[in-house]
Every structure is written in C-alpha cells, then in structure tokens.
Structure 1
Amino acid sequence: MGKKTAWAATIVGGSLVALVAAALVVRPWEVPEPVATPTPTPEPPPAAVLTGADAGAPAPTADGVRDAIDELVEAAAFGGAISASVVDVGTGEQLYSYEGATPTIPASTTKLLTGAAVLAAHGPAHQLATVAVAGAEPGEVVLVGGGDPTLAIDADGFFPGAARLDQLAEQVTEALGDTQVSQVTVDSSLFTGPVHGPWDDDIPGSGFVGPITALMTDGGRIDPDPAQGQRSSLRWEEPDLAAGVAFAELLGVSADQVTIGSAPPAVAGDGDSGGQSDQGESTTDPTGTPAPPDPAAPGAVLGQVMSPPLLRLVETMLVTSDNALAEGLARQVALHQGEPASFAGAAAATTAVLAELGLPMAAAEIADGSGLSRDNQLPAELLTDLLAQAADPAAGEPLAGLFAGLPVAGWSGTLAGRYRAGEPDPTGVEAELRPAGPGAGAVRAKTGSLTGVNALAGLVMTADGRLLAFALLTEEVPVAPGPARQALDEVTTALLECGCR
C-alpha cells in the first residue's frame, strides 16, 4: 500500500459458527456410543471495508459523476439550497460542482479546517502542557492552563489518554516536600476575548459546548460520561475555576482558598514555564555546578502534565465532533501565528495557515473553530480541495492525519447511525436500529448539523477503486434531520456504486 492510501485500513471481523450435537438420553447402566464432533464449516470472511485505492483504476468522468448524482443532489429533502463538489483525488480534477463555489453554512465540517490548520502549524507530535508553579505567597500554588480541553481530574476522564490533575498534584507534593499548600491560584490568561462564540443563543446552555477557557477539565463537563458522547452533560459556567477547585481538593486545600489570578514570572533558566525572573534564580555551589532553583521561589515549576499528541486530539475532535476541543485547537493555531487566542484571532490564524497551504480561502469566512456559528461560510469546493491535498502523497504529513479521525459510515463516531437500510426515522434517533445499508463501512466523512443545516464531507471509493473527495453542504433543510441525512447518504452511496465513466 502506497503513501496515498496509508490512511486506509481493512476492518475484518468474524463470527462464531454454532456446532450442532445430537441430544442423548443416558441411563446409568448404559454406555453411550461415542458421537463424532462434526467439523465446522468455515464461513467466508466478511467483505473488507476502507480498502486502499487502486492506482490503476479507470478514471471517472465528469459526465459519469453527473449522471450518478445530479438528480440526488436536487432532492427535496435539502430544501433547495446545496453546495456540492466532487474531486478525483488521484488527479485533482474537479468532476462535479453544483453551486460548489457558493459559500454555505458548513456546520461541523468546519472542524476539517481547524484540524488541518493546527496540524500544519504545530505538527502532529506537538503536545499541550498544563503546569503548576510556586506562587508569590508562601504556600501558594498556581495552576497554569495551557489550553488543553482534554485535561482530566483522574483516571475517569472523558477523553482517552488525557493528562491528569491527580498526577500533577503528586508532582507538586513531591516538589514541595514539607511545605504545606495553603492556596491555589488559577491562571487561565492564555486565552483572551469572550468565552462564548458568535453562536445562537441556545448553544451555550445546550450541553454541546460551554465557555472556552485555557484551563478546563473534560471539555468543561460537569459530570463527564463518555458513554453518552458529545452531549454528555451540562458545562461549568467557570470551567477554569472548577478545574482549580478539583486541583485544590487533590492537594488538600479547601475550595474557598481557590482564586483566579496570574502566575509569577518563571524562574530564570526554566524554559518550560516561559519568561524569566530575578527571583529564585539558580545559584552555583563551590564546585561550579548550578544548584536547582528553590521550589518555593515564586515562578518555580513544581510539575507539568502533557496532553496526547495533536494528531490524537484532532482524531478525537473529528470522530466525536467535540466542540470544546475544536475551539481549544483553533486557539493553538492563533498562538502559533502570533494572534490573540480568541475566536477572532483563531479565525484569522486558521485562514492564514490554510492560505499558506495554497487553499482558496478568498471566499471563505471563518467565525469559530467548531462550526457552531452560522457566520461560518465555506464553499464545498474548498473542502474537497483540502481533502484532496491531504490525500496527496506529494503534500506529505501532517495533513494526512485528518483521515484517522474521519468517522466510518455505519461504523464509528457521528456516522455510526448513518447509512442504514429502510425508511429514515424523521428524528434520526432510531437510525442505529435499522440494518446497515450499502454505503456502510465504505464512506469516511465528517458530519455537520445545526437546525436547518446538514453537511457531509469526506472520501468514497468508486466501484472501480478510484478515490473521490466530496463535500455536500445544505442550509435550508426542514427541521426534522432524518430525511436530509438519508439523502446525503444516498448521494455518496451512488458514488460508491458507480464507475462514473
């Protein structure tokens, strides 16, 4: 398998074969004849999904794609407003465009841009640090947020592999030795600007997202439960303060001794905490060896925990469509570009980074990193250009990392309940109860959904083995989402089933 298809995986499963044995009635005085155990007949393996593209597959044509999907794109379920684009990944050729250059509300397909920008800016291995430093007052510990929304309190966190406050507290206790912690200060000043984006009024209290701050645990969730997915609970009104209270409890400090403030400048020579200070500098012993800084000196680093690599954070953001994580990652792009770590700064930085990649950003308007804002306006052609570039081996890493997080139709993430056979449920709630349809396991895409908005952008293989990038953005959908989602699935399934030649 070449670089172009390195993202692809073959998912193979099996089933147990039942063995049928004759029923025997055995009397105590009788010895039963031995019964031969029948040799099980092996079942054929299930069809492979997400197989690699065939570099020698016949190229689809624009006429073939048009014949396959033109009528489906004009489905009544879309409400008459759709921006659609299909690109041959192998050649970069635009095969289909239906108002594809028209800016349209993209909903959560915006997260594809956020993921691409943060991977391009920082690289897939970059990690986010949460640091504890000594405060200006004796016994004061400052918890400094580094913008990691996945930070957990303990092993029961919402996000897999997250950095943990209990482990940070252990480091602090060890560093301070006999010094008793009496106060915890929370420094979340890394992020600036409003904590809520340019969203509909019902978004902040919906459970889908909360205030965006540089310090939070579990994406700001009050009672995180991974089993319930994205909308697992309400969010803290002050997620940075709530994280500080949790940290204080781990250190044996009462909640009333937790305040919002700022960390002192870092101890000189300590590159992890940034900045320098004349206070607490290292001294030199008679042998000329620098002595370590006094852990009680203001600004001295007492502990640090690191997030999973950005590649894993982007994967989690895409597969679950996590909004708080998306906004946190967008601010990391802003910090890299020297912009304020705010909604506006992140939008400007994301636009700049993607333009540097050669993507056509002139018609795009970005208002947030999650896609919750209706002020976002993206042409479908921008999304297919991004996906095609990410799949191009000449472009190389890091954009190929986007594909690890794209949900698989009928299989994972926000597409687990999609691509089902039978009549669609108008609400979409009972979708997973229907059997898998023909596109299940063969389409990989990012979903997008707001009231009246449904979107889908990703990759699909034609019947001949040719890889296509597609984007379908609709913004005048009737309130019930089921039919529109079914119609989106039908468009991409038609691409899957055709040679499109």
Structure 2
Amino acid sequence: MPPTDPTGKPPADPPPPVGKAPRRRLPLVLAAVLVLVLVAVGLVVVRPGPVGRWLGETPTTPAATATGEPAPVAVLAAADPAAPPPTTDGLRAALEPLADDTALGGRVNMAVADALTGEMLFERGGGEGTVPASVTKLLTAVTVLTARGPGHRIPTRAVSGTQPGEVVLVGGGDPTLAADAKGFYPGAASLTDLADQVRTALAGAAPTSIVVDSSRYSGPVFGPGWDDDIPTGGYGGAITALMLDGARENPKAGPGWAARVAEPDMVAGRAFARLLGVPASTVRKGTAPPTPTETTGATEPAGGHAPGAELGVVYSPPLIRLVDIMISDSDNIVAEALARQVALARDQPASFAGAAAAMAEVVAELALPTNGLVLADGSGLSRKNLISPALLTELLALAASPNRPELAGIFGGLPVAGWSGTLRDRYGAAPGTAAGVGVVRAKTGTLTRVHAIAGVVTTADGRLLTFAVLTDDVPPNGMEPARAALDRIAAALAGCGCR
C-alpha cells in the first residue's frame, strides 16, 4: 500500500503579496523529465542532461551501451505543444459538478493552468490559502533546490573534543545517515566510514568518549500544528540535526509508517561509540569546540589534534536525490530536513519557524503568488500551513521552465496514477477515474478532514496542464470518498479536451 499517515487517523500523505508570475513556456525537454521507461534491468527515470551530473552519474560510454539491451519503451506519452488548450468554459462545465461532490465537503479550492503558457485557465477559490497537507512538499522541493542547488550534499563531521580522547560527532542535518551500508536510504553516508576516518586521523590513539553535537538545529523538535499523535504515530518524529535512517528504530522498515526513536541524535551517538569501541555510557550531548587556527595555541588532547580539528567527514546524497525521496515516498522527516536547509541557506535559524520564514522568502524571490501563504513546517503535517491552489500551479509551471532547469528534478518523484507512489492504488477502480491512469502525475496530501492533490496532467488533446485541488473541510470518516472525488477531477482533465 502507498504511504499513509498517523495510526488511528487518516494518513498524512502518506500538513507582502507579490504580483502574478510572468507567463512561462514549457520546453520540450520536460517530456524527457516526465517520461518513465522500462528496460530489461529495471525502472529508469529519464532526466535532462544537468540532472545526471547533479546525481553524480557518469556518462555512459559506447562500450557500456553495447550490451544488447532493448530500446526503452515509453509508458507515458509526451505532451503535444501544438495541441489546443482547454477553454475556461469547457473546464468549468467539466469540473464544477465534480467539485460540488458532497464527499469533498464545503470548502473546495482549485486552479488549472496551461503549462505551456502559464495562463490560468480555471480557478475556484484559486487564491485562497487552504490547508495543503503533504502537498506542502512541492513548495519545500522548489525552495530547497533554489536555495541550495541540486548538487548540494549535507555533511556529518567528527572533530577533536576538548578532553583527551574525546571525539565530537557533529550533525549537519543529513536525515539519511546510516550506521553502515545496510541503512534505510540507498546511497546514504555511513558512520562506519566516518569511524574509519577517525581511527586513521588518530593514528593509534584510542578515543575514550563521544560528544553528540546536534546544535545545528534550534527550537522545538516537533512542529507547531502537528496532531498530538504525530510524534509517536510513525509518520513524524523528533527533528534533530543528527539522526540515523530518518529516525527509524529499524532501518529495514519499509517506506511510510515506521516506529521512530525518541532521541535520534543520542541513538546516532551511541552507534558511533560502538563503532569506535567506546562505552555507550560515555556518550553525552554537547557542542564542538571552535575550529582551531594557527594562533589559538590550543593543547592537543586527541592524537595530536587541537580541539575542533576535523577528524573525518561524510556527505549525504545530493539534494536532488533527497527531493526525489521526499516526493515519491512522501517522507516527512526528509521534508523537515530539507526545509531547514532552506533556512541555513538564507541565514535563518534552522528551526520550524526559521525554515518557514526562509521558504516564504524564496517563494517571493521567485515571483510566485504569496497571497494566502502561511507556513509552519516543510512536510505538511502542520494544520497551520495554508497554500493557495494558484501558487501550486504556478510553482509547477516554474519548475517546468527552461529558465530554471535545476527545478525540473521535482517531476522525477511525482507519483503516477495507477502505477507508483501514493497514486499506485488509486485510479481505475473508482468510477470516473480510469481516464487518469498513467497520465496524471501528482503529489497527494492527507490529514484528518484534509485532502489535496497537485501535479500535471495531459488532456485527451495532448495539452499539458498544471492543476491543484485542495479541500480542508471533508466530512468525518470520509477519506476514501474524498480521495475518489479528487481523482475524478484529475481524471476529467485527462479525459476531455474541455473545449
């Protein structure tokens, strides 16, 4: 089943104004970003040229391609830039009756835009801030890729402490860090590698204690507006600058629900101590000493290293991979870590409040509409978040723009209707949704009485649209009917020319 949110509740998917953004043209290269292909060795997401470099992929040589593999087979048709766009009247006739479905409650806001021109084609409460749930992650993705860049990697460092044999483990905010090669996230940095570097740097001197420094983050570890059961419900957790495997108790747990540890930074510190042969009883919280300079005259307590001297460093996968994980798995812990990277890039405190302020700042810098925008976290678990459908549709159009190729990575992780992610088991079974199978690509969002979907869809005529539908007044216990009603709206866009 796709990821769902807190136990006992409908899943959390799995929570000054500027002018409208200028019209943007969608490049044909987006077709490559949006096409998923199957090859003999597995699933491949086709990405534009720069994306491969950000991911650290090496160019394929002619010799490497001469393996007899069959040519990739497209499973999503490319949009036709010459196709006619829908008309506002046509969209109104197709969507208004579906938006009035009582399963969606009394507050349904939506927007539909032409991805090629950026023109807003239809809106119903399009500028109204609405609780977005996990659709917030689209905003987190665009702001972190803007602020940090797709290739940025988050460091985890070990430095010399102030006491003989003391090693300080300094968290930089990497939520994917693993104890060893068997961690939850593929390609994650490992404490085993870091411990090896420390032993080499100490040149035989035995470490005696571990200090855990997670001071990179500040403020509360749980978000404002989170439901009471989220910290222990398996979809949220304590957000600390140092953690292993997204704070999972068991790195072998699948995506979505997983028991989380109460103190992720101390769990990581104790794992590091084991790797260095240091008793767990010596692990304590603290802060790293300042980086030494030639003029400090500091003593050298650990293997000839002055306090604060670097003993080793490991790096997270590039941010574009973390964005992929966040969107495709609706990973709330990764989302909060990425939001704090926006804060750090904009010299804000790496806290919930600092991240929210920094993300809003980047949205304004991108000339996206900020009317109705209120942010409290980066995952969408907070009910204090408000995002307008118009902002989401313009944000998706911006990510498709040839002028911002670094943002195109958000499309690679978008679930495909009836095939992957949180849309894998949706579309096709519910009446009126079959037309969306394979042609709707969208991020979903779910909290109790809150449901949302935002993404891209190709019409029956071949025109690519961006769309967002949000409702935060769904009747109690109405999760499944509300999801089906949302899917019928997206399927209607896919199944009509709406002219």
State the TM-score, normalizing by the size of structure 2.
Answer: 0.84
Distance 2:252 2:440 in 1: 28
Alignment pair present for 1:326 and 2:339: no
Match of 1:370 among 372, 379, 388: 379
Structure 1 segment 482-493 matched on structure 2, within 5 A = 482-493=480-491
Compared CA separation, residues 152 and 12, structure 1 to 2 (3 A)? closer
Distance 2:98 2:370 in 1: 28
In the other structure, the counterpart of 2:418 is: 410
In the other structure, the counterpart of 2:10 is: none
1:134–1:295 contact (8 Å) kept in structure 2: no
| Matched letter for residue 279 of structure 1 | A
The more displaced of 157-166 and 473-482 is 473-482
Match of 1:216 among 234, 243, 251: 243
In the other structure, the counterpart of 2:168 is: 142
Distance 1:168 1:241 in 2: 17
Q: How far does the alpha carbon of each residue in 1:17-63 deviate from its partner, in whole angstroms, 9 at most, with x for none?
A: xxxxxxxxxxxxxxxxxxxxxxxxxxxx9994332221111122111
2:210–2:284 contact (8 Å) kept in structure 1: yes
2:104–2:482 contact (8 Å) kept in structure 1: yes
Identical positions, percent: 55
Match of 2:408 among 400, 413, 422: 400
State the superposition RMSD in angstroms. 2.1
In the other structure, the counterpart of 1:480 is: 478
| Matched letter for residue 303 of structure 1 | G
Match of 1:157 among 170, 183, 186: 183
The more displaced of 412-421 and 160-169 is 412-421
Q: How far does the alpha carbon of each residue in 1:398-446 deviate from its partner, in whole angstroms, 9 at most, with x for none?
A: 221111121111222222111132469xxxxxxxxxxx94322211111
Structure 1 segment 109-258 matched on structure 2, within 5 A = 109-198=135-224, 199-226=226-253, 228-232=254-258, 234-258=259-283
Compared CA separation, residues 388 and 278, structure 1 to 2 (3 A)? farther
Compared CA separation, residues 214 and 12, structure 1 to 2 (3 A)? closer
Q: How far does the alpha carbon of each residue in 1:320-340 deviate from its partner, in whole angstroms, 9 at most, with x for none?
A: 111111111111111111111
Compared CA separation, residues 67 and 261, structure 1 to 2 (3 A)? same
Distance 2:202 2:459 in 1: 62
Compared CA separation, residues 243 and 494, structure 1 to 2 (3 A)? same
In the other structure, the counterpart of 1:309 is: 318
Q: What SS does the aligned partner of 1:131 have?
A: strand
Which protein is bigger by CA-based radius of gyration?
1
Compared CA separation, residues 405 and 390, structure 1 to 2 (3 A)? same
Match of 2:35 among 3, 6, 9: 9
1:280–1:294 contact (8 Å) kept in structure 2: no
Q: How far does the alpha carbon of each residue in 1:377-418 deviate from its partner, in whole angstroms, 9 at most, with x for none?
A: 11111101101111122x322221111121111222222111
* CA displacement at 1:134 relative to structure 2: 0.9
* CA displacement at 1:277 relative to structure 2: 4.8
In the other structure, the counterpart of 2:359 is: 350
1:59–1:466 contact (8 Å) kept in structure 2: yes
* CA displacement at 1:470 relative to structure 2: 0.4
Distance 1:295 1:408 in 2: 55
| Matched letter for residue 235 of structure 1 | R
* CA displacement at 1:175 relative to structure 2: 1.3
In the other structure, the counterpart of 1:461 is: 458
| Aligned pairs, number | 440
Q: What SS does the aligned partner of 2:308 have?
A: coil
Compared CA separation, residues 172 and 453, structure 1 to 2 (3 A)? same
Compared CA separation, residues 300 and 92, structure 1 to 2 (3 A)? same
Compared CA separation, residues 10 and 142, structure 1 to 2 (3 A)? closer
2:38–2:72 contact (8 Å) kept in structure 1: yes
Distance 1:361 1:441 in 2: 32
Q: Which 5+ residue runs of structure 2 have no aligned equivalent?
A: 1-26, 41-70
Q: Which 5+ residue runs of structure 1 have no aligned equivalent?
A: 15-44, 270-275, 282-292, 425-435
1:50–1:443 contact (8 Å) kept in structure 2: no
Match of 1:385 among 384, 391, 394: 394
Q: What SS does the aligned partner of 2:435 have?
A: coil
State the TM-score, normalizing by the size of structure 1.
Answer: 0.84
1:130–1:305 contact (8 Å) kept in structure 2: yes
* CA displacement at 1:453 relative to structure 2: 0.6
With a CA cutoff of 8 Å and minimum separation of 6, indicate the structure with the bigger relative contact order: 2
* CA displacement at 1:5 relative to structure 2: 2.6
Structure 1 segment 256-275 matched on structure 2, within 5 A = 256-268=281-293
| Matched letter for residue 229 of structure 1 | P
| Matched letter for residue 281 of structure 2 | D
| Matched letter for residue 287 of structure 2 | S
Q: What SS does the aligned partner of 2:34 have?
A: coil
Distance 1:4 1:116 in 2: 16
Distance 2:462 2:229 in 1: 44
* CA displacement at 1:11 relative to structure 2: 2.8
Distance 2:369 2:278 in 1: 52
Alignment pair present for 1:78 and 2:78: no
1:218–1:224 contact (8 Å) kept in structure 2: yes
Distance 1:356 1:229 in 2: 34
* CA displacement at 1:131 relative to structure 2: 0.4
Distance 1:80 1:8 in 2: 34
In the other structure, the counterpart of 1:279 is: 298
Compared CA separation, residues 73 and 348, structure 1 to 2 (3 A)? same
1:452–1:476 contact (8 Å) kept in structure 2: yes
Q: What SS does the aligned partner of 1:142 have?
A: strand
Distance 2:428 2:212 in 1: 48
Distance 1:108 1:141 in 2: 38
| Matched letter for residue 417 of structure 2 | A
Distance 1:301 1:445 in 2: 43
Distance 2:72 2:158 in 1: 51
* CA displacement at 1:295 relative to structure 2: 5.2
Q: What SS does the aligned partner of 2:373 have?
A: coil
